Every structure is written in structure tokens, then in C-alpha cells.
Amino acid sequence: MTRSRIDVQDLLFGLFLVAVATGTLVATRNLTIGHAADMGPGYMPRVVALALMAFGVFFTGRGLWRAGRGIAPVQLRPLLAILASVGVFALTAERLGLAIASVAAVMLASFATREGRLVETVAFAVVLSGAAVLLFVKLLGLPIPIWPR
Amino acid sequence: MELFDNLLMGLSTALQLNNLIFCLIGVVIGTAIGVLPGIGPIPTVALLLPFTFGLSPASAMIMLAGIFYGAQYGGSTTAILVNVPGETSSVVTCIDGHEMAKQGRAGTALAIAAIASFFAGTMATIVIAVLSVPLSVLALKFTAVEYFSLLVLGLIAAVVLAHGSVAKSLAMVLLGLLLGLVGIDVSSGVARMTFGIAALSDGLDFVPIAMGLFGLGEIIANLERPAERRVVSQSIRSLIPSWKDLRAAFPAVVRGTALGSVLGVLPGGGAALPPFSSYALEKKLARDPSRFGKGAIEGVAGPEAANNAGAQTSFIPLLTLGIPANALMALMIGALMMQGIQPGPQIMTEQPKLVWGVIASMWVGNLMLLVINLPLIGLWVSMLKIPYRLLFPAIVLFCCIGTYGIANSLFNVWLMMGCALIGYFFIKIGVEPAPLLLGLVLGPQLEENFRRAMLIADGDFTVFLSRPISAVILAVVAALLLAMLSPAILRTRKEALAE
């Protein structure tokens, strides 16, 4: 962790909260608020969003005001590999079936580290895919196609 | 004796063959994920939730509970042999446990850890049984007003007592509450924050959120750190501790159990706080504190007892009041709701078989764990040899399939992907995601009870203060929050939670 002139952690959290709060207020702008004795659907979301906004402004301000810890540099390889693995599973599971989706997801996830060896990864992916089909479809009865329809 | 009747009723549920099997499955899975660093009980329970649909509520809860306390057992094995905590709760066991292993006393350390855990588990089961009845009697007096105040207390206490910045945790609770509001509003039927997505009208499922935030986010962050797992190649000689060891450990076990039982009940305590407190206590009481850190047996026995007792007594608020003490209990509430059981103060009177069955199963499960852990220790040690590069793709795959399985919806898989990114972001900026999960699970109940209370009181906010039970609860909330502002307490809290 590097020292930093501003508190990057606080600043980012603050901005994140402000963004969420703003988004909520925009998304709920058409909902009736009502009043305490007879609350409309918009009452609670707005109360919570306003509180979040207050927290967001507080953290943003504190982050700019005081020195603090910077954040460790983001390594793209694990991040992208894991996200891509989940994404590929979501894209292929229902169309190509669990067997193929599993192999694809495991292979992509393995790219997250440089330690992997191709042969080992492929073999492991196939084994895992078989185990997943057996466990989830055959044993636990998950309604998902195994092969492409 | 009502207590014995209750326990007998519980045992009759817990000892049914299918429940015994699910208890065994739970504790075996729990031990496995406890042994493996990098997988905690939270993503595991989240992963298995979808598959508990088909089970009876009692079997489901018995299995999921087994995972949680089983993980406490498994975590200590890794701590002792590899000097890496299998679970956060076994961090302190590393200190003296691994030192003992280095001196060739790994077998003794493992045995003491298991025996201490078993003793604590047994005592904690009794504590739960004794405390549950009076608490549930009190709980029956609750209306929406009191329940709302109680939910607030649960949330605030969980934030104050858990580690991390209080302000950030409060913000995370609010974030969770907000996510809990997504979906069709129950009383007006209007869609809120669904952005026109049909899958959102029933609200956000918490399983993809939990798996994304806790499981996948954690994996991504783990992969950024250089691998540093050395597996011990030491053979474990004698597993039977000597009389001298047992005599030295026993007082520490008793103290650890007592401390753990008390701290476990507190929201936010769960399984993390007790072992640290116990270690500090043992060190303070020892005639020769310098032995600690050099393989003191009390330093293993006390914390191990404390973490098991704490893990189990953290079920008390859940089983009697329907309030989760930590993120894992929040998942348990989710499991109950999936089974169509409304968690709340009435749960004990309406579902006595379920509640007492779960309580009795804990003792049965502890007995199983003792058998699973000691003679089969070699099996668990060999599991440690599985390299992380094979482990994490498997976890990612199982998370995908499990998330899909809750509602057979691909939307949930996408949601999990988004939460993985957000979870990684939270880890990067040093924010604990656990309070978010609490807020998410309790959010709908909080809103419903608030609305009902306001209906009863005709929009008069003072109702929360004019009812005695509610006023007392809110006074405790205020005291907790005020205490957080006092610099002296703030400093002690920092010290207590440090490391």
C-alpha cells in the first residue's frame, strides 16, 4: 500500500455512494412519496438514497481532505479472466448446454493465473465438466440442457 | 422439565436417518472448506441454498448449520499445519498451533483443538437450549413497533461490533437496504427501480449477490497476491494428548467456551471476535506470558473453544428472534424464507420441531466432527495439496451453476458477474461487504414493520419511544452509537479488533 496525499479509498467509496444515490433518486422520481402514516412506494427508497447521499458526500470530502492510503494497482489479468469466465457461462449455458459451457468457463478462468499448463487445464476442465453434469443435472436434478439443442 | 422435553423433541428430529445424513454432509463439506484457505462458509452456504429447496426445512437448516460449525473445525487444521488460517476465525490458532507443529507436536495440537472444539460445541448447545425459551417468551410480546426497533438494534450492533470503520459499515447497511427495496412494492404493487427488467420485479436474489461479493470478488483479489502456500511434509505422530497437556488445556477450554458463548450471541460477534478475545485473556492470565507465541497449549485450546462456542451461540438471535448476528446468519434467514417460513419472534412457537431439531443436531454434528477430524486427519491434510490454480476455476464454475440453479435464470448469473466486480472494488478500497448482506436480507422486513408501525401509530414517530420495550432497545442503539463517538472507547475498540 502506498501513502497518498489524498485518501483514495475514501474518495472512491464516497463517489460510488453519491453515484448510487443519484441513480436511485432518478430512477424513483415518478413514484409517489406519500407521508409517514400512509407511505407510498417512493418513501423508503428516497429516505435511504438521501442518507446514502449524505454518507457519500462525507466520504468524498474526507477523502479529499486527509492523507491516506492509496490503492494497490489493479491487475487486469485475474479480473478480466474471472469476469469473462462467468460471462461465457451465462452466454452459453442454455444454448450449448452445461457440458460445453463448463469447459469454456473453467478454461477461461484458468487464464487468471500464469501458473496453468495447457494440457493440465484442458484435462481438468473436461473432468470438472463431467463432474458438474453428474452432480448437478443427474443427482440434483437441475433443469439445464447438457448438450446443444 | 420443559428443557429436557424440548431437547428430546429436538433429538428425535435430529436423529432421523435422513437428517443424520444431511448433518453428516454438512459437517463434511464444512470441514473441507474450512481446511481449504480461500473458500469460506458464506459462498459455500450461498452455493448450496438452491439445492435445499427439495429438502424439509429442518434437513436444510441442519445441513447449512453443519457447514458453518464444521468450517470452524477444519480451519484449525490448516492453521496448525500450514500456518495459514483456513478461516478468519482460526487466525490466532496459527500463532501457537503452528509453533507446536514445528516442535513436532502437531498431533497434540490437532487433538487439543478438536477436543476443545467438541467441549465448546457441547456446552454451547446447552447454552442455546437454556436461553432460547425465555427469549422466545419475551419475543412473543413484540409488535411491529418493537420488531422494527429490534431490527435496527441488530443492524447497528452488527456494525459496531464487527471490524472495519463504523461509518463505512453503516453506509454499506444502507446500500444493502436499498438493494432490498428493488422489486414490486408489496403494498402498492408498483415496480420500484426495476428499470423495466422483468427478472427484477420479484426483487434481487441475495444468493448471486453473496456469491459475487464474497466468493468471486475474493478470488480475484487472492489471485493478485503471489502464491505462498507451503504444505507441511511433517508426519503426524501421536494424536493422543498426554494427561499433562489435557490438564494444562482444560481451564483454558472452559474459559474460552464461556467467553465465546457470550460474545457469539452479540450481533457482529459471530466466529471472528471470540478467539481473539480468548487468546488475549489466556495470555493475560498465564503465569509465564512469554511462552505464548512459542507453542503454548492454552493458546490453541482457549481460542479454539471460543470460536466454536461463538459460532454456535450466534444462532441464538436467529432461532429465537429471527435476527441474524452476522452475514452467514443472514443467509440462514434467506434459507428459511425460501422454505416459506417467516423468520421472526414467533418462529420458536410455530416451528418448535425445526428450532429444537437444529439445536440438537449441533451436538450430534459436533460428535461427528470429532470422529471425522481426528482419525481421518490424513485425508484433510492431503486435500491441502490441491493447488490453488485448480481450485479456483472449480469454485468459479460451481458458483455459476449454483447461481443459475436458484431460479434457473441466466439473469442471476449476470447479476453475480456484476457483484463480483463490485466485490473486487470493495476489497480494493478496503470496505467490508458483510453489512451489505445484512441490510439486503433485513431490508424488506425493516420496511414492512416500519410501515405497519406507522399504520398502528397513525404516522406518529414517537410510538417507538412511548412503548417501553421499544424504548429500551432504541436506548441501547443510541448508547452504542454514542459510545462509538467517544475517543477512549474508539481507541480500545481499535486495539481489540486490531490484527
Residue-wise pLDDT tens digits, B94-148 = 888 888 888 888 888 888 888 999 999 899 888 888 888 787 777 777 788 888 8
Least trusted range by pLDDT, from A31-40, B44-53, B61-70, B198-207: A31-40
pLDDT tens digits along B185-208: 777 777 777 777 777 777 788 888
State whether residue A16 sits within 8 Å of chain B by CB: yes
Helix or strand run (H / E) with residue B22: helix B17-35
Q: Contact A113/B389, CB-based, under 8 Å?
A: yes
- Per-residue HEC secondary structure of B208-220 comes to HHHHHHHHHHHHH
- Which pTM value belongs to this model? 0.81
Residue B235 lies in a domain: no
Higher pLDDT, B343 or B11: B11
Cβ atoms B299, B108 nearer than 8 A: no
The three grid cell numbers given for residue A104, joined into one nine-digit string:
469454456
Confidence at residue A13, expressed as pLDDT on a 0 to 100 scale: 93
Interface of A with B in 61-80 (CB under 8 A): 69, 71-72, 74-75, 77-79
Least trusted range by pLDDT, from B87-91, B175-179, B300-304, B411-415: B87-91
Confidence at residue A70, expressed as pLDDT on a 0 to 100 scale: 74
Confidence at residue A14, expressed as pLDDT on a 0 to 100 scale: 92
Half-sphere exposure of B499 (CA within 13 A, CB side): 12
Confidence at residue B486, expressed as pLDDT on a 0 to 100 scale: 66
* CA B22 – CA B55 distance, rounded (Å): 10
Residue B311 lies in a domain: yes
Q: What chain B residue is nearest to A101 in terms of C-alpha separation?
A: B397
CB-based contacts of B194, cutoff 8 Å, min separation 6: B182, B183, B184, B200, B201
pLDDT tens digits along B449-462: 888 888 888 878 88
Mean pLDDT computed over B377-381: 81
Q: What is the mean pLDDT of chain A?
A: 85
Confidence at residue B499, expressed as pLDDT on a 0 to 100 scale: 42
Residue B233 lies in a domain: no
Residue B234 lies in a domain: no
Number of domains in chain B: 1
Confidence at residue B463, expressed as pLDDT on a 0 to 100 scale: 82
Dihedral sign for Cα atoms in the order A47, A49, A53, A55: positive
Q: Which residues of B touch A28 (CB under 8 A)?
A: 192-193
How many angstroms separate the CA of residue B386 from the nearest CA in chain A? Answer: 12
Higher pLDDT, A24 or B388: A24
Confidence at residue B180, expressed as pLDDT on a 0 to 100 scale: 86
Write phi, then psi, for A68 (nearest 5 degrees): -165, -160
Residue B236 lies in a domain: no
State whether residue A148 sits within 8 Å of chain B by CB: no
Strands B191-192 and B183-184: antiparallel
* CA A41 – CA B383 distance, rounded (Å): 51
Least trusted range by pLDDT, from A131-145, B46-60, B228-242, B444-458: B228-242
pLDDT more than 90, % of chain A: 32
Q: Is the pLDDT of residue B496 over 70?
A: no
pLDDT tens digits along A46-96: 889 999 999 999 999 988 888 777 778 888 888 999 999 999 999 988 889
Host domain of residue B116: 2-226+241-497
Residue B161 lies in a domain: yes
Q: What chain A residue is nearest to B191 in terms of C-alpha separation?
A: A41
Interface of A with B in 36-55 (CB under 8 A): 36-42, 44-45, 48-49, 51-52, 55
Confidence at residue B84, expressed as pLDDT on a 0 to 100 scale: 72
Confidence at residue B78, expressed as pLDDT on a 0 to 100 scale: 82
Confidence at residue A84, expressed as pLDDT on a 0 to 100 scale: 93
- Per-residue HEC secondary structure of B50-78 comes to HHHCCCCHHHHHHHHHHHHHHHHHHHHHH
Mean pLDDT computed over A28-43: 76
Confidence at residue A57, expressed as pLDDT on a 0 to 100 scale: 94
Residue B474 lies in a domain: yes
pLDDT-derived band of residue B236, with 50, 70 and 90 as boundaries? Answer: low
* CA A101 – CA A92 distance, rounded (Å): 5
Q: Contact B396/A17, CB-based, under 8 Å?
A: no
pLDDT-derived band of residue B238, with 50, 70 and 90 as boundaries? Answer: low
Residue B61 lies in a domain: yes
How many angstroms separate the CA of residue B479 from the nearest CA in chain A? Answer: 21
Q: What is the mean pLDDT of chain B?
A: 82
